[in-house]
Chain A
Amino acid sequence: MNTWLWLAEGPLFWLSLSVFGLGVAWKLTGLLLLGGPRAQPTPRGSPAGGAVYTILRHFVPRRVFLPGAGLHVLAGYAFHLGLFILLGFAAPHVAFFGERLLGVSWPTLPQWGFIVAAEFAFAGLIILWAMRISEPIQKLVSRPADHAATWLTFLVMLSGCLALEEAHVSLRALHMTLVDAWLFWFPFSPLMHTFTFLFSRGFTGATYGRRGVGL
């Protein structure tokens, strides 16, 4: 048990974190280096302004697409916000980041806050998964990687939930091992949308900002 935990929080963790960091950097740099058009039309508006506008605007669905998109967007926010909150402010996570990575600590959630955030995150993720396997379009277009991303993230969260009592080394080791796998796989997976969404919205925003439209 101790060996497993030592591996999962030690060498395997550092390896996974390195692959994560290098992989993300490689992917994003490489992507940007693919280049753009050789000439741009005379702008009517600001590309930079358009980029910022579109990045922010697409956080909220346009009213005309509701209620159809409503459940999807709500579940998405429940998941993402719940996950960010518990990832960043749950006591065991802050302890881990603080001790092992950053050397600083910050205020944490009370236990109940951790649990409520997790419940939102689970509810959101499960609803999103339910839609991915039942909506005809999503069924048709989802790649194995999209399903794997959902499942792996879910297992990371589930193993964390199972280890909540923080009384059994095996459960903590299981959680850490899954975290390591998640980190390792991250740069090669659809999870990269975490960063690429900024580029995607940004490029569209810049293109149409140049044309004087906020899309």
Chain B
Amino acid sequence: MPVRPAMLFRKAMPEGFGAVLRLALRLSATAVLASIPLQADTVCIIIHGLGGLPEYEENFVKWSEGLEEAFQQGPAAQVHRLDGRSLRRDDILTTFQDVTASLQPDSEVWLFLVGHANVNLSQYKFNIKGPDLTGDDVEGFLNGLGQRRAYLVAATSSSGGLAEQLGAPQRVVVTATRSAFERYPPLFLSFLLESIESAEADTDKDGKISLLESYLFSRNKVARWFADKGRIQVEHPLLDDQAKVRLGEKKKGEQAQQPEPSVVGLLASSAYLSTPPEKAYRTLQARELAQQRIGVEREISSLKFQKAELPQEEYYKKLEALLIRLAQLNQRISELEGEQ
């Protein structure tokens, strides 16, 4: 039973642990299966805002260019980099309209906000020339995308509230901070950029970096950066997946050992910031085996979604069989291709 000291003159100490843990909901197997990536048309919008100080401005520009390059080389068919130092809110809203009008039904949209932001009267404000771009503006744009998948990365200060405001089905919202009160310019995006080319970030060893992998990598790097410097961590990134699962939220009492919500089957795990170059097989047989391999990989994914429903022994028996099959296919493909 927790105790508290009595104090003369003073009221009892307030409850220290304000944050309420949001219960993470496990996605259903069907919802997850539906999220297996298709070859969709991908559009990426990167907006960098006012720097205030030269060193911030330099970073914001550098990071935006890094994102632009990564998306041009990787998943995006179109990349729009907008400079909020010269473009005004109306210009950006016009771009939003134009992009929306140009989308295919199966298009996917990525939106990056890079810069300073603040929250005023509960309204998120991304600092650009003239009137700020607001959380409501971004919400209007994302809602206008209908059922299309959208990925927002708000790499700004005070961005935490966007996860709550903008979380929705078919949408992933990543914020560099977990609340409006984390007001320092975040480092998060620098690590996210690092993740795109990092083997360490590729935790499922499939040769490409998903938004989930990138988020987890960057989150760890942020924490370590502050720990190594011996500083109090002033930014805690969040990831909201379809308003059902939220990663990185403050735990009750901070030190409590509570598991993160399951990351199996999140939409963020099938949205890629980098993709490996298309593999050209030299033999027909290898090509056929590669097709079979895709099938086995799908079966493994499907099985993993059923993990909670299956008895453990049965699950691992089936998994083992599939993994052996996959390993054999890979071995055979390598042999055919003359690889080591």
| A and B held together in a complex | no
Binding site for B on A (CB under 8 A): none
Binding site for A on B (CB under 8 A): none
